[in-house]
Amino acid sequence: MTPVSTSVKIKAESLSPQMRWLAICAVTALFFMWGFLTCLNDILLPHLKAVFSLNYFKASLIQFCFFGAYFIMSVPAGMLVARWGYQRGMVAGLMTTGVGAWLFYPAATFLSYPLFLGALFVLATGITVLQVSANPYISALGNPATASSRLNLAQAFNSLGTTVAPRIGGWLILSAATVATADKFAQASSVRMPYLGLGLIAFLMAGIMALLHLPVLEAVEEDEKHHHSVFEVLKVRHLALAVVAIFLYVGAEVSIGSYLINYLGLPAIAGMVPSVAALYVSYYWGGAMVGRLVGALVLQALRPQVVLGFNATVTTVLCISGWLLSGQVALVAVLAIGFFNSIMFPNIFTLGIARLGHRTSQGASLLIMGIVGGALVPILMGLAADRFGLQYAMIVPAVCYLYIIYYAFYGSLPTDRDLSD
Give me the pLDDT at residue 105, please: 93
Helical H runs in 60-183? Answer: 61-84, 86-102, 104-109, 113-140, 147-169, 175-177
Give me the pLDDT at residue 169, please: 72
Give me the pLDDT at residue 218, please: 53
Contact 331, 264 (CB under 8 A): yes
pLDDT digits (tens, 9 = 90+) for 296-310: 788 888 888 999 999
Between CA 243 and CA 195 the distance in angstroms is 32
Contact 346, 151 (CB under 8 A): yes
Give me the pLDDT at residue 2, please: 28
Helical H runs in 170-236? Answer: 175-177, 184-189, 192-211, 230-233
Return the domain boundaries, the chain.
13-214, 228-421
Give me the pLDDT at residue 243, please: 93
Between CA 46 and CA 142 the distance in angstroms is 42
Between CA 50 and CA 66 the distance in angstroms is 19
Task: For domain 228-421, give the CATH superfamily.
Answer: MFS general substrate transporter like domains (1.20.1250.20)
Task: For domain 13-214, give the CATH superfamily.
Answer: MFS general substrate transporter like domains (1.20.1250.20)
Contact 265, 273 (CB under 8 A): yes
Between CA 277 and CA 289 the distance in angstroms is 20
Residues 6+ apart with CB under 8 A from 2: 82, 83, 222, 223, 224, 227
Give me the pLDDT at residue 310, please: 95
Find the angle CA(343)-CA(65)-CA(207) to the nearest 5 degrees: 70
Give me the pLDDT at residue 246, please: 95
Can you give the length of the chain in residues? Answer: 421
Please identify every stretch of the chain with a pLDDT value under 50, giving residue numbers as ranges: 1-10, 179-180, 219-226, 420-421
Q: What is the pTM of this model?
A: 0.71
**Helix (H, G, I), strand (E, B), or coil: what is residue 217?**
strand
Give me the pLDDT at residue 225, please: 44
Give me the pLDDT at residue 24, please: 80
Contact 348, 245 (CB under 8 A): yes
Beta bridge partners of 10: 217
